[in-house]
Structure 1
Amino acid sequence: MKRKIKKVGVLGSGVMGSRIACHLAGAGIQVLLLDMVPKEAAESQDKSARNKLVNDALQAALKSNPSPVYTRNVVKRIITGNFTDNMKEISGCDWIIEVVVERLDIKKIIFDQVEQFRKPGTLVTSNTSGIPIHMMAEGRSDDFKKHFCGTHFFNPPRYLRLLEIIPTPETDPEVTNFLMEFGSLQLGKTTVLAKDTPAFIANRIGVYGIMAIFGLVEKLGLTIDEVDALTGPVIGRPKSATFRTADVVGIDTLVKVANGVAENCSGDEQRTAFSIPSWLDRMVGNSWLGDKTGQGFFKKTKGAAGEKEILTLNLATMEYGPRQKARFATLEAAKPVDDLKTRLQMLVQGSDKAADFYRHFHYGLFAYISHRIPEISDELYRIDDAMKAGFGWEIGAFESWDVLGVEKTVAKMKEAGYQPAAWIEEMLASGGKSFYKIENGKRLYYDASSKSYRPLPGGDAFIVMKNFEGQTVWKNSACRTYHLGDDVLGLEWHTKMGSIGGEVIEAINRSVSLAEEKYKGLVIANDTANFSAGANVGMIFMFAVEQEYDELDLAVRQFQQTMMRTRYSSVPVVVAPHALTLGGACELTLHADKSCAAAETYIGLVELGVGLIPGGGGTKEFAMRAADEMHEDEPETITLKNRFLTIATAKVATSALEAFELGMLRRGVDEVVLNQDRRISEAKKSVVEIYDSGYLTPLPRTDVKVLGRSALGALYAGINGMWRANYATDHDALVARKLAYVMCGGDLSEPTLVSEQYLLDLEREAFLSLAGEKKTLERIQSVLKSGKPVRN
């Protein structure tokens, strides 16, 4: 059957339920969110009183930071109600998700009601993380069992991309396959098929990792601050590292999962690792449970001068004290290295306590994951996928093992007393040297059951640029252009924060030229943490400080010309941005034929923050789009003013959907891809579709209507008002006036039609004049030193 999900019933509006509802609404799905009638309203006829619990929970979710929704408008898709009055309405739902308290008896009561009202064939799933899925299906009808499984979202659902799908023996395989595909394609999730084992995949491995580190704290005599320095971004893990993560998750939750594994996994060879240390027991007894109680491993206080201060728990004395900077030679040597794989290799090769920690930590983790195949998953890649999507690991555990060398590491593990599973030895004996390998642009994984390498499923939908290194068409030291197949080129670059400098400009021009010669088009994207933080401001600063204005003028001209080359190439150019897409990266997106943006794209023209205006065609593009959006039934200055304010306030869209509202993406042209891993594949498809539909090179615009003095006066008046009210500094006002001058087409006596080049020339002149301002240089220098502009 062709199953469609138009409406979902979410039963339970707590922290998880309300946020799952928000994410579903953000994906364009209608949601019925239900919860209990408050006790005090049991006899009331007032609908608002009876729905107070669910409505308060939804409002609390919407006020939370980070926001659970892509835009506030999606809330219109959520209808609230209560179990008593509205449970019958689940008959109109295509999928029902139970998210009530983690008690089997209460879940069974809810499922009794679901059985009463659901129509046959409706999907029913539970978001439980601690109760075996098969136990919840006991005693239910055959149709219920057939359409029931676990769907374990991670909190917050919008940002943590993992969705574990846990079928029971009675679950129809069609249901499992549908949810795997739907979760990936429609909800933007990394869907991972898990077995119905305690803690499933991500929590089983993640909590083992945390508990094993707790053991190493005592074994090696490490402090909390030292461990968090060792287990954060330096090894490709989130900034919250280990102990901060425990505080965020909740120490009681961590203990509950650990106890659950210890009690229910009698065959786990590392069962003792899940034993709760005495100091952790004491913390639970003291209700030091982390963020939810105001203190855990860390405690926020105020210093003598009223400033915020974070204290760290001393596990020996159980008292809080000032945070201490970790000092390890191995750590200091590895930190400056940008490449994660090289860093990992350096960290395990050191000779100090930090290196001892890294060896024990990795050897224990590697042994543990090897023994979980096939207990929790038949395929090793699912473990890596779960940890990357659920715990924010940059690199999976099996991938880390590959980086350190499987055969070499196994020998060292055995020397240190860590025994991997037998199938590891079998893989090495058969000639397999790694868990993953690349062949013809396809990534393969070692399958322990068949003792062979198999392609990762969905490879065509999940294009990874680096997998095409064997099809490199052109490169320089920072950039690579690949043939992605189907006569489409792909360009990526690897610079710090994806900054756009001379080599990237060269690569864009060269890639466009190559595509024009014999390909259908070009995709510009990458697989790094962020698409790009914008132009290389260090280069701008250097030219300006040394008063090399001719060089700076040339650099800005080249940037502008490259953006126009992208716009007016004879083949389509599609950009696939994600995460930070700022300044020059936003300008590149504005000039592409199409953007296939990940939903989590934070895009904006932020140059005003460093005392400049967008100088790579961004100001020109916003002026041009404002002209195209002007309507006869409203003042012409309204659209221009809105566009001006977006740049003048350095607004950054908090999602790709909000980018449409801010005018950075175009409705009917650009596309949002909820699953970030699919955006490059979608961009490649778009190139082929645009080319095959008969692509015609656009003509440079000569008909851009600018308003001159009639709008300039109004914008200047607004800027002056902001300055007088102290919302803008003197320098803010100067920069804003330069921006207004360009967007209005200069000091023209009346509205006039001008060319794009006319606006680019004005834009460049304003940019260069501001680059020579002392306060602009102070702002740029501040960004280069601290990452934040000074307010001057």
Structure 2
Amino acid sequence: MNRNIRKVAVIGSGVMGSRIACHFAGIGVQVLLLDIAPAALTDAEAAKGLQLTDKQVRNRIVNDALQATVKSKPSAVYTKAVAARINTGNIDDDLPKIADCDWILEAVVERLDIKQQLFEKIERYRRPGTLITTNTSGIPIHLMNEGRSEDFRKHFCGTHFFNPPRYLRLLEIIPGPDTDPKVLDFLTDYGSRHLGKITVLCKDTPAFIANRVGVFGFMAVFKAMQELGLNIDEIDSLTGTVMGRPKSATFRTGDVVGLDTLVMVAKNLPKNVPNDEAKDLFIVPPFIDTMLTNKWLGDKTGQGFYKMTKTRGADGQTKKEILTLDLDTMEYGPKKKTKFATIEAAKQLDDLKQRLGALYSGGDKAGEFYRRFHHLLFAYISNRVPEISDELYKIDDALRAGFGWDIGAFESWDALGVKRVLKKMTEAGMQVAPWVQQMLDAGITTFYKTEKGKRLYYDQRTKRYEPIPGAGVFILLEQLSENVVWRSSACKLYDIGDDVVALSWNTKMNTIGGEVLEGIQKAVTMAEERYKGLVIANSGPNFSAGANLGLVFMFAVEQEYDELDMAIRMFQSTTMRLRYSGIPVVVAPHGLTLGGGCELCLHADAVQAAAESYIGLVEVGVGLIPGGGGSKEMAVRAADRNIKEDIEVNYLQQLFINVGTAKVSTSAHEAFENFVLRPGHDAISVNLDRRIGDAKRKALLLWEQGYTQAAPRTDIKVQGRGGLGGLLAGVHGMWRGNYISDHDRLIAEKLAHVMCGGDLSQATTVSEQYLLDLEREAFLSLCGQKKTLERMQSILTSGKPLRN
């Protein structure tokens, strides 16, 4: 059966349901979102004379929930326009409409009786063969479909989205006893391909995989903290980014998730898994019970482990302060500064695996914490195989995608040395599963290895390495160390198969300096000589934070204008090398793609962006204009609009505003609205791990279609004074209204001068090089401004923009 998902029904519009609906709408699916009808009028409804039978009232709950979700921050939608794909209704009146849906997803309250009652109603209207899934974080799947028809049970399973579903990439799929394997295969592929998820097929065990191990991780931290006498601030300094976890660490994450949610899972596990060897660890500490009694549940109640206070100073300004809960006194106080020698030493190591080794070996209290925590974690995950998963890589996938860990638990054990750590755990009396020692006895010393570009994992059933599914679909450059065909101290060029190479670099925030520019030029040259296409992509949280601002600042402060001029020329020549290369170049950005990173995208033959790409030209924030071809390219794109001249000027104004306000797209979808990405040329990979594979296929397609190197353009029609007058009038109005400073006005005037082609008396046809020269001159002149230097210094020293 060729199954297509054209329309989805989401029943339950709470925090999860409405966000799941928005995520489906974001990928282009029509959504029917239903919830219960209210039992009573609000005061406002009564004042308007409305009745409970009015549609406005009956759909109030679902409409209010959807409206709140669309307005929420961080945004649950790629663009506000996607909400138009969501139709709302209520269960009593509109449930028959599910007959038109291809997938019915239940996301109501976590109560078995309520879910079972709803499923009975759904079966009256559901079309046979329609997918039916439940979003649950822990209710056993086999209990939910009791009494349902054979067709219902065959197409029913659990689909556990993690909140918020747009950003957290985990989708756990939990089969029921009668689920058709073809349904599981379809959902696994659909979740990965269309929803952008890391899909993990779970066993129907309590809390499934991610929550089972993730909540254990919380409890293990509590245990080690109490044994070592550490406080909340110390723990969050130990368990954040330094060890490859989200910056929210442990207790801030607890506040975001909600203490009641965390405790619900922790308390239910010992009841549901009485044979769990670590069940006593799930007994919540007394301070948790006190917080529950006080309703200090985290962000949802305004205070939890942390509390924000606002005070008004003598100057009349409101000051915010975050207070930390003292677990001994149960009173809030100022955050305490923390300092551990182990942390200070480890921070000097950029490689996470090396950093974990330094943390684990630390000689102070921090080092002891890391040893105790990791021993508890490693023992626990060893005993969960095969209970919750036959394949150990699924546990790591779930932790990375569901809890934001940079590397999984078994990967961490590999990094620290399996044999070395097991010896210490055995000495400490930890209960480690026998299969780990059996693996070592067989001469296999790691849980993972890479062989001929393929990622393999140790399978305790076959007692040998097996390939992780997805080879060929997911191209992860960090796993292709054997395929490096050229390297420098900053860059690596990988052969990713089918005569395509991929360039990546590893600098702080993946910024672009001279060595990276040389690497890009070298990659283009090598690709032209030996390959069919070039992909430019990076690993890590972000594609690139832009040009190396520190280098620009140094040249500007020392008034080395010749050096600065050479650096700008090199950047421009590199982006133009991408534009006019002899082979197709596809850039695959993700995360922050700012300034120079955006300019690489603007000059590629095509862009294959991850959905979570935040792209924009932000140079005005440091007192400059885009100098790597970005200002030129905005003028070119304005000229290429095949519309009337007066409207073309308005289009130019829009591009000018986007650059002049340093507008950054909040998603790759919004980058199309901002004219950074181009319909028909550029595309989006919802799944981050698919973008490089998708970019490779795009490069090959361009090659097979007969890619031909273009000639530099000399046919760009710029507006001259006609366009310049309109732009400067707008700038002057903003300045007179005190919306922008004197220096903002100067920067905007420079930008307008470039984008209009200079002070030309009429619309004129010019070359790209002409515009690049204007751009470079404006960039250099701004580097000589004191206020620009102050802005650059502020970003470099504090990371905060200065509006002077």
Q: How does 1:268-287 map to 2 (within 5 A)?
A: 268-287=276-295
1:291 aligns with 2:299: yes
Corresponding position of 1:703: 715
Corresponding position of 1:640: 652
Corresponding position of 1:594: 606
Q: How far apart, CA to CA, are the structure 1 residues paired with 2:75 and 2:479? A: 34
Local SS of the residue matching 1:635: helix
Equivalent residues of 1:630, 1:639 under 8 A apart:
no
Corresponding position of 1:174: 182
Equivalent residues of 1:583, 1:604 under 8 A apart:
yes
Corresponding position of 1:542: 554
Q: How far apart, CA to CA, are the structure 2 residues paired with 1:367 and 1:534? A: 43
Q: How far apart, CA to CA, are the structure 2 residues paired with 1:503 and 1:398? A: 35
Identical-residue share of aligned pairs (%): 64
Q: How far apart, CA to CA, are the structure 1 residues paired with 2:513 and 2:751? A: 23
Which residue, out of 422, 438, 447, partners 1:426?
Answer: 438
Corresponding position of 1:15: 15
Task: Please state how far the C-alpha of 1:294 moved relative to its aligned partner.
Answer: 1.1
Task: Please state how far the C-alpha of 1:466 moved relative to its aligned partner.
Answer: 2.0
Which residue, out of 41, 53, 68, partners 1:60?
Answer: 68
1:461 aligns with 2:469: no
Equivalent residues of 1:160, 1:390 under 8 A apart:
yes
Task: Please state how far the C-alpha of 1:519 moved relative to its aligned partner.
Answer: 0.5
Give the letter aligned to residue 32 of structure 2.
L
> Could you list the per-position Cα deviations for residues 520-540 of structure 1 after superposition, in whole angstroms to 9, with x for gaps in the alignment?
011100121100000000000
1:38 aligns with 2:38: yes
Corresponding position of 1:507: 519
- 1:735 to 1:633, Cα distance in 2 relative to 1, 3 A: closer
Equivalent residues of 1:163, 1:189 under 8 A apart:
yes
Corresponding position of 2:191: 183
Corresponding position of 1:236: 244
Corresponding position of 2:448: 436
Corresponding position of 1:100: 108
Q: How does 1:313-462 map to 2 (within 5 A)?
A: 313-462=325-474
Equivalent residues of 2:641, 2:648 under 8 A apart:
no
Local SS of the residue matching 1:444: strand
Task: Please state how far the C-alpha of 1:336 moved relative to its aligned partner.
Answer: 2.8
Give the letter aligned to residue 21 of structure 1.
A
1:737 aligns with 2:745: no
Q: How far apart, CA to CA, are the structure 2 residues paired with 1:635 and 1:440? A: 55
1:472 aligns with 2:472: no
Task: Please state how far the C-alpha of 1:491 moved relative to its aligned partner.
Answer: 0.4
Give the letter aligned to residue 118 of structure 2.
I
> Could you list the per-position Cα deviations for residues 455-500 of structure 1 after superposition, in whole angstroms to 9, with x for gaps in the alignment?
1101111101122221211110011001111111110000000000
> Could you list the per-position Cα deviations for residues 563-591 of structure 1 after superposition, in whole angstroms to 9, with x for gaps in the alignment?
00011001001110000000000000010
Give the letter aligned to residue 242 of structure 2.
V
Which residue, out of 497, 502, 508, partners 1:485?
Answer: 497
Q: How far apart, CA to CA, are the structure 2 residues paired with 1:472 and 1:175? A: 39
Local SS of the residue matching 2:78: coil
Q: How far apart, CA to CA, are the structure 1 residues paired with 2:205 and 2:641? A: 56
Q: How far apart, CA to CA, are the structure 1 residues paired with 2:52 and 2:711? A: 67
Q: How far apart, CA to CA, are the structure 2 residues paired with 1:310 and 1:535? A: 34
Give the letter aligned to residue 138 of structure 1.
E
Corresponding position of 2:687: 675
Corresponding position of 1:525: 537
Give the letter aligned to residue 773 of structure 2.
D
Local SS of the residue matching 1:159: coil
Task: Please state how far the C-alpha of 1:634 moved relative to its aligned partner.
Answer: 4.5
Q: How far apart, CA to CA, are the structure 2 residues paired with 1:517 and 1:537? A: 33
Which residue, out of 172, 184, 192, partners 1:164?
Answer: 172
Equivalent residues of 2:202, 2:389 under 8 A apart:
yes
Q: How far apart, CA to CA, are the structure 2 residues paired with 1:375 and 1:501? A: 50
1:140 aligns with 2:152: no
Q: How far apart, CA to CA, are the structure 2 residues paired with 1:439 and 1:332? A: 35
Q: How far apart, CA to CA, are the structure 2 residues paired with 1:259 and 1:32? A: 35
Equivalent residues of 1:436, 1:445 under 8 A apart:
yes
Q: How far apart, CA to CA, are the structure 2 residues paired with 1:664 and 1:297? A: 42
Q: How far apart, CA to CA, are the structure 1 residues paired with 2:308 and 2:479? A: 45
Give the letter aligned to residue 398 of structure 1.
F
Q: How far apart, CA to CA, are the structure 2 residues paired with 1:467 and 1:392? A: 19
> Could you list the per-position Cα deviations for residues 198-249 of structure 1 after superposition, in whole angstroms to 9, with x for gaps in the alignment?
1111111110000111111211100000000000000010111001111111
749-758 vs 625-634, which moves further: 625-634
> Could you list the per-position Cα deviations for residues 569-618 of structure 1 after superposition, in whole angstroms to 9, with x for gaps in the alignment?
01001110000000000000010011100000000000000000000000
Corresponding position of 1:27: 27
Which residue, out of 716, 740, 743, partners 2:728?
Answer: 716
Q: How far apart, CA to CA, are the structure 2 residues paired with 1:758 and 1:447? A: 61
In structure 1, list runs of 5 or more residues that go unmatched. Answer: none
Q: After the TM superposition, which parts of structure 1 deviate over 4 Å for at least 4 consecutive aligned residues?
A: none
Corresponding position of 2:45: none
Q: How does 1:557-572 map to 2 (within 5 A)?
A: 557-572=569-584
Give the letter aligned to residue 251 of structure 1.
L
> Could you list the per-position Cα deviations for residues 698-726 of structure 1 after superposition, in whole angstroms to 9, with x for gaps in the alignment?
22111000010111111111101111111
Task: Please state how far the C-alpha of 1:44 moved relative to its aligned partner.
Answer: 3.2
Task: Please state how far the C-alpha of 1:662 moved relative to its aligned partner.
Answer: 0.3
Corresponding position of 2:322: 310
Local SS of the residue matching 2:640: helix
Q: How far apart, CA to CA, are the structure 2 residues paired with 1:780 and 1:350? A: 37
601-610 vs 711-720, which moves further: 711-720
Local SS of the residue matching 1:507: helix
Equivalent residues of 2:51, 2:57 under 8 A apart:
no
Q: How does 1:750-789 map to 2 (within 5 A)?
A: 750-789=762-801
Give the letter aligned to residue 60 of structure 2.
K
Task: Please state how far the C-alpha of 1:415 moved relative to its aligned partner.
Answer: 1.6
Local SS of the residue matching 1:753: strand
In structure 2, list runs of 5 or more residues that go unmatched. Answer: 42-49
Q: How far apart, CA to CA, are the structure 2 residues paired with 1:251 and 1:508? A: 48
Corresponding position of 1:71: 79
Q: How far apart, CA to CA, are the structure 1 residues paired with 2:775 and 2:185? A: 53
Q: How far apart, CA to CA, are the structure 2 residues paired with 1:329 and 1:548? A: 40
Aligned length: 792
Superposed CA RMSD: 1.0
Q: How far apart, CA to CA, are the structure 2 residues paired with 1:43 and 1:659? A: 44
